[in-house]
Amino acid sequence: MVFFHQTSSLGLLKSLKKSHIFYPMPKHQQMPIVLGCFIFTSSYQCAKPVDPKRIRPGTTTLSFKGKGEGIRETRVGKDYSSPRPFNLFAAGASKRRSGPREAIEDSERSILSRRITLHPPEKPLSAGEWEELKGQFEGLRKFELLMFEQMIACNSPIDVAKSLLAAVANREGDIQYSILLKYLCLCVSQGSTEEIYDVHDILKARFKTLETSGYGLLIRGLSGTPRWREALSLLEELKKVMTPSKSNYGDCIRGALLNREINLACELFHEMLAKDLVPNLDTLQIFFDTGRSVKDDILKTELMHILSYLRDNQVYPGEALMQSIKQWFESIPGENWKGSLTTIKHSGQCPSCNQSLESINLSPEEYSTLKERIIKDVIQGTDTFRKTTPQELEEFQTFVNQCPPFDIVIDGLNVSRVYNKAIPSQTLLNVVSYLAQQNPRMLILGRKHMLKKTSQWHRNDMAALQKKAHFFFTENLSEDDPFLLYATLHSGSHCRFVTRDLLRDHKACLSDSLTRRLFFKWQRGHQMVLSDYIPGKRIKFESVLNFDTIVQTTGNTWHIPYDDNVLKRSSYEVPTKWLCLQQK
């Protein structure tokens, strides 16, 4: 493929673009080859005809399907790479669904990578040589600044930067603050303590106050050195002008912990949480790393506090933090913890210690608050007319109150459009008939246009559906999802709902993060997703998880879900890998 000539690769592209032929999904061995022609066309020239800027998601030039088939097809397409049973909320699911598009974006990025024009020199130059170099880039106004930025990017030796500083000082008798900042940044990234001290002293003497990035860099630079206490005083100065960021606090905490000042670190940590800052994971990691070597009751309670913080705020540790937690537990003397990495089965049992994990069902109080909030925030919002009308809402509520509780609530429109080559009403009928085998009480939500006799909604199908399930039709202008949520919640915790929608926009309507988390937990435990549908052959629902993905303990065991480094997890997904700790 390397000797594939560029023009021919373009020809291939064009033919792919024009043809409406139905290409099969490429197998994984073929993928790199097809992309190869992209990757080896490193020059921008030959990528021009493709015009990557114009590539919009869904209409990629490398689409392996004709234009007739949409993205929905790819989503339904069988996914061999995912572990079975596949879950919509499992980390990396969205990336898998988006399929080969990601790879194309990567190759685009490689094509569109900016050409670096300024190359910092290898060795220190004299002032004259710097002038010469500057002369070459005539018209570049901020030559020194750009040069420093490039030095930071290339991680040049400090001596080169010093020589440039010397040249500037020699020319102007003074050095701008912005240039000093860039130099400081370079020193901090290379950890040259002496230089950081000097720049710190110069800055403190020259300027009465600094600004956020200057303080941030100095705090970072000083926190790992013997003069780490000065970082604390810098933090105090920063507090006068602005709320410090989480990394400022994180650096100070790192400095305190490296010097075994446990109390100070804890104080800073609590102060940070009080300001509603979410700590960086590596800050937490330093706590656990320190815990391994320092045996101290205060620190132990603090670490337990951190674990409960992770639980309460649904923060999932990364792989590095997970390893630190594991090692800390195993290093506690006399408690004999043993950690192992597992994935949990769908039954909710941990394979390594046979412990059942926490149920995903909400407590009755949580349930009732969620129900209220759905009505108040999602359906009514600031203006009932935006999603429905008051009259319709009342109608719906009386309808739900009259009916006995349902077992399954179905988003009729969503389900009917699962398979775009079939008639919607038939698809809906097939899915409902499949679900009706266990004789549940079903409610189908739809819009009034489904009642009209059209080519898409057949009378006889609708009549058959009427026999199997209850119906509620909203106005065509109303949103049906909020009603789906409310009907499901109203029926009780045994009730499930069927839709493929991720419901992110409705989650966003909820006003505070706690309720949003409740909603997400409830959604994971109650949403049935139709993952695979071929008419007359296969109907497959993803199994609903019955355990909650959250840091949890039973006293002598801990189960901690974590993100592995490879998979990118979206915000509406939860990790699938677990750290199981048990006391022997």
Partner 1 sequence: MHLFNIIRRSVFQLAASDGTKRRFFLIMPSRVITCRTLVLSAWLNKDSSPSATEKLDLDGWKHVMRSAQQEEATERTSQSEEDSPLAVTRELIEMWRLSGRLVPENISEEDFKTLNECPTKSSIRKYLKFLAIKENRKKADREKKEKRNEANKERMLNTQENAGGELPNTFLPKFWTRSQDAVYNWRAAQSMIFGQPLVYDMNYENYMSRREMENTVKQLMESEGANRRALDPFHLHYCNLKAGGPYHKEFVKRYGEAWDKLFVTVTEKSYVEVFPKDQLVYLTADSPNVMKTFEHDKIYIIGSIVDKSMKTGLSLANAKRLDLATARLPLDRCLQWAEGAKNLTLDQMMRILLTLKDTGNWKEALQFVPQRKHEGFVNMSSWSKEQIDTWKKTKLHEKMAGQRKAHKQFAQNFSRRQTQKNWWEDVS
Stretch in the footprint of partner 1 (CB under 8 A) among 161-169, 332-340, 436-444, 536-544: 161-169
CB nearer partner 1, residue 366 or residue 475: 475
Q: Out of 46, 55, 140, 166, point to the residue binding partner 1 (CB under 8 A).
A: 166
DSSP string, 226-278: TTHHHHHHHHHHHHHHSPPPHHHHHHHHHHHHHTT-HHHHHHHHHHHHHTTPP
Q: Per-residue x/- marks for partner 1, 77-116, CB under 8 A?
A: ----------------------------------------
Residue in 5, 114, 123, 452 binding partner 1, rule: CB under 8 A: 123
Q: Are 84 and 118 in contact (CB under 8 A)?
A: no
Q: Which residues pair with residue 412 across a beta bridge? A: none
Q: How close are the terminal C-alpha atoms of the chain, in Å?
A: 56
- 112 touches 52 (CB < 8 A): yes
Least distance from partner 1 to the Cβ atom of residue 264, Å: 18
Q: Is 177 in the site for partner 1 (CB under 8 A)?
A: yes
- Asked if residue 513 binds partner 1 (CB under 8 A), the reply is no
Out of 21, 202, 298, 463, which residue is the one contacting partner 1 (CB under 8 A)? 202
Burial pattern 475-501, b for ≥16 Cβ within 10 A else e, equals: eeebbbbbbbbbbbbbbebebbbbbbb
Q: Cα separation of 381 and 375, whole Å? A: 8
Q: Which is nearer to partner 1, 498 or 510 (CB)?
A: 510
Piece of 100-108, 123-131, 489-497, 512-520 that binds partner 1 (CB under 8 A): 123-131
Rule CB under 8 A: is residue 206 a binding residue for partner 1? yes
Q: Is 470 exposed, middle or buried (0-12, 13-18, 19+ CB in 10 A)?
A: middle
8 A C-beta contact, residue 424 and residue 511: no
For position 236 contacting partner 1 by CB under 8 A, the verdict is: no
Integer Cα distance of 547 and 344 in angstroms: 9
Q: Does 70 bind partner 1 (CB under 8 A)?
A: no
176 scored as a contact of partner 1 (CB under 8 A): yes
- Which residues make beta-bridge pairs with 375? none
Amino acid at 260: R
Q: Does 22 bind partner 1 (CB under 8 A)?
A: no
Decide if residue 250 touches partner 1 (CB under 8 A).
no
Q: How far is the CB of 227 from partner 1 (least distance, A)?
A: 7
**Closest to partner 1 by CB, 297 or 383:** 383
159 binds partner 1 (CB under 8 A): yes
At its nearest, how many Å lie between partner 1 and the CB of residue 27?
A: 27
The answer to the question of residue 181 lying near partner 1 (CB under 8 A) is: yes
Q: Which of 163, 223, 285, 549 binds partner 1 (CB under 8 A)?
A: 163
Q: Which of 51, 297, 365, 383 touches partner 1 (CB under 8 A)?
A: 383
Applying the rule CB under 8 A, the residues between 415 and 434 that interact with partner 1 are 421, 423
Q: Please report whether residue 51 would count as binding partner 1 according to CB under 8 A.
A: no
In terms of Cα–Cα distance, which of 534, 210, 75, 226 is closest to 218? Answer: 210
Binding range to partner 1, per CB under 8 A, among 172-180, 317-325, 459-467, 567-575: 172-180
For 107, half-sphere exposure in the C-beta direction (CA atoms, 13 angstrom radius) is 23
Nearer to partner 1, 127 or 514 (CB): 127
Tell me: does residue 124 bind partner 1 (CB under 8 A).
Answer: yes
HEC string for 351-383 = CCCCCECCECCCCHHHHHHHHHHHHHHHHHCCC
The per-type count for the chain, helices as H runs and strands as E runs, is 26, 11
In the set 254, 387, 500, 526, which binds partner 1 (CB under 8 A)?
387
Nearer to partner 1 among residue 81 and residue 460 (C-beta): 460
User: Which of 494, 479, 511 is CA-nearest to residue 546?
Assistant: 494
What per-residue string of b and e applies to 530-565 under the rule 16 or more CB within 10 Å gives b?
bbbbeeeeebebbebbebbbbbbeeeebbbbbbbee
Name 58's Cβ contacts closer than 8 Å, sequence gap at least 6: 70, 71
List the interface residues with partner 1, window 448-477 (CB under 8 A).
455, 476-477
Judged by CB under 8 A, the stretch of 176-184, 300-308, 513-521, 564-572 that binds partner 1 is 176-184
Q: Tokens 């039973």 correspond to what residue?
A: 554
When binding is defined by CB under 8 A, the residue of 174, 236, 276, 365 that contacts partner 1 is 174
| Residue 90: closest CA among 578, 579, 570 | 570
Q: How far is the CB of 389 from partner 1 (least distance, A)?
A: 6
Stretch that binds partner 1, among 163-171, 351-359, 372-380, 480-488 (CB under 8 A): 163-171
If you ran DSSP here, which 8-state letter would residue 64 be given?
A: S
Beta bridge pairs of residue 337:
583
Name the residues that contact partner 1, by CB under 8 A: 20, 68, 123-129, 145, 159, 162-163, 165-166, 168-170, 173-178, 181, 194, 197-198, 201-202, 204-214, 227, 230, 240-243, 383, 385-387, 389, 421, 423, 455, 476-477
